[in-house]
Amino acid sequence: MSTAAPKILLVKLSSLGDVLHNLPLVWDLRARLPNAQIDWVVEEAYVHLLEPLRTREGFKGIDRIIPFGLRRWKKHLFKLSTWQQFFAFKKQLQAVTYDTVIETQGLLKSALVCALANKSPNAVVAGLANATEFSGYEPAARFFYGHLVQVPVQTHAVDRSRMVMCSALDWPAIQRSDSPQFYGSQIQVNLAKPVLPELKTPYVLFFHSTAREAKRWSNEAWITLGKELASRGYQVVLPWGSSAEKAVSVALAKQIPNALVPPGFSIEDAFKVIVGAALTVGVDTGLTHLAAVMGLPTIEIYCDSPRWKTEGYWAYHIRNVGDMQSPPDATEVVKASLELLTRPT
């Protein structure tokens, strides 16, 4: 492997939060191997998360983003167009011969991407040797790695990815004191076409919905928080991603003065919505983590998931409240919200 300019493939396909917590690898690699080629295979729904780090004039980030359409392909397995798209993906993936493949997901679908990739004769293909608590893992994936990385069963998502990378490249482990970078000053958000209607007051985002009901914070707590913020001149905005979530947003808005239920928006538009907020408050879900990794004031609420797994530990203006089967009360979240909203700039 060329130590000066190795070709490195990152494989982290999904989901939103997992992709975000893998972003620091790009910065870690660039700091140590500035001339490396860094490519990333990701589910096509999450390409927009990586676009701000795409290599462009004056900035070296991700050289190639390779979209993977598995979720869509599985719905149309017997269509000719599906197989044409798969072979186009395979051709794009195999256009480069990689020296190192770093797979941080531990699933069979991502391990199969490693198998499809072209690799140099002495290439290192690194992946997880074991499951970690509260994360998906398929033991069969291990058969596709030449370099197995054992990690503690309770490991933060960022730390786990860094452990696999460092082991693959035979580097000393990166400590938390070397704070992870995600987007930083390189993020480019086009605000020319705002997603939300023009707002006359500063707004606070409430990401109240998540895929698993047990991870939700109670409606009563959201209403208590919303009324407190509304009384202090903030407009509460209640995004949604499905008809069921929209119904919850509408129900909450009826109880919170001047609250807004916005039109639906994409992940790409979420950047614009979050950038404009005075504060984001949300449960353990991808869009809450997006606010945290964008370096913006964020409160992450944990109700039925372990805080150690995804908590934003890298900035003062990220507050993590609650824990596994221990949701915070409204008073605690109100206090954290007011501290962040009134902090000196």
Q: What DSSP string describes 213-271?
A: GGGPPPHHHHHHHHHHHHHTTPEEE---SSHHHHHHHHHHHTTSTT-B-PPP--HHHHH
Contact (CB, 8 A) for 61 and 54: yes
What pLDDT score was predicted for residue 285? 96
Are 145 and 21 contained in the same domain?
Answer: yes
Are 152 and 266 contained in the same domain?
Answer: no
320 DSSP β-pair partners: 300
Alpha-carbon span 310 to 298, nearest angstrom: 13
Q: What b/e sequence results for 312-334 when a residue is b if at least 16 CB atoms lie within 10 Å of its CB, and e otherwise?
A: bbbeeebbbbbbeeebbebebbb
Are 225 and 160 contained in the same domain?
Answer: no
Residue 165 belongs to some domain of the structure: yes
Residue 104 belongs to some domain of the structure: yes
Instruction: Write the DSSP symbol of residue 174.
Output: P
CA atoms within a 13 Å half-sphere pointing along the CA-CB vector of 170 = 4
Alpha-carbon span 144 to 276, nearest angstrom: 43
Are 259 and 225 contained in the same domain?
Answer: yes
What pLDDT score was predicted for residue 206? 98
What pLDDT score was predicted for residue 192? 53
Domain span holding position 324: 203-341
Residue 2 belongs to some domain of the structure: no
Residue 66 belongs to some domain of the structure: yes
Low-confidence ranges of the chain (pLDDT < 50): 1-2
Q: Got the DSSP string for 26-74? A: HHHHHHH-TT-EEEEEEEGGGHHHHGGGB-BTTB--BSEEEEE-HHHHG
Are 244 and 168 contained in the same domain?
Answer: no
Residue 195 belongs to some domain of the structure: no
